Amino acid sequence: MTGTGALDDLFARTRAGGRAALIGYLPAGYPDLAGSRDLLAALVDGGCDAVEVGMPFSDPVLDGPVISTAQRAALAAGFRIRDLFGLVEHVAARGAVPVVMSYINPVLAYGIEPFARDLAAAGGAGMITPDLIVDEADPWRGAAAARDLAPIFLVAPSSPADRIALTTAACRGFVYAASVMGTTGARDAVSGDAPALVARCRQHTGLPIGVGLGVRTAEQAAQIGSYADAVIVGSALVSAADSGPDAVRGLARELADGLRHHRPAEPGVRR
């Protein structure tokens, strides 16, 4: 199954298994195209249920130094937007659900309709757009709906109730709850704002809720997995990528193992 249905099926499986899903992020084309394929395969082999294939961007203002450096390295190695779709297809063929994480500017440069068409054709399930607010997202939401792709938006600890309601209503697949304010990056402790943010989201939606920003250990993953439907890991995996596929595979396996022993307290329900 492809598109939004692939995410629905994924969360149905993880709920049935009594655990949260593991979603791993790596920038497309890092360190180069061939190396990127190997690293993405390692994510899946290590136990990631879904993979965020990051679109490299020259001005990744919401990303911390680890991810920003990797994105710029991918661009310097010759990454082009059209290369993204082959990597998405590679993830899908490997057995995980691929979603794209992208700032909106590269999508606008490619063309919203062509981007949705090519992402769907590659087996992508949807796209996370960290800098696109729901109020300005109608063109992307329309294109996504026409191709059965999930538009996934972010909520933050500072989001008031009306914004959470508006944002979660526009999401499909899952809701991305950013557990901390500021840029991405692995942290020594999980934000204390995350459980409250998830609880606030559950007041407005039955969609699964994934928590991201800052996770780097199996213990942190298990902590988040006790109340969220998905644990999203980025910077720690990008750091591991510097040591090659074996390091990525090993960290993904540790994170996945940490989630297998913790049932989410309030599993999301598909709408």
Catalytic residue, from 8, 49, 63, 229: name it: 63
Q: Give the number of residues written for the chain.
A: 271
As a whole number of angstroms, the distance between CA 191 and CA 202 comes to 18
- Is 52 designated active site? yes
Nearest in space to 84 (alpha carbons), one of 61, 103, 63, 62: 103
Residue 63 annotated to the active site: yes
* Phi, psi angle pair for 221, to nearest 5°: -60, -45
Q: From the candidates 52, 59, 113, 162, give the one annotated as an active-site residue.
A: 52
What is the set of active-site residues?
Answer: 52, 63
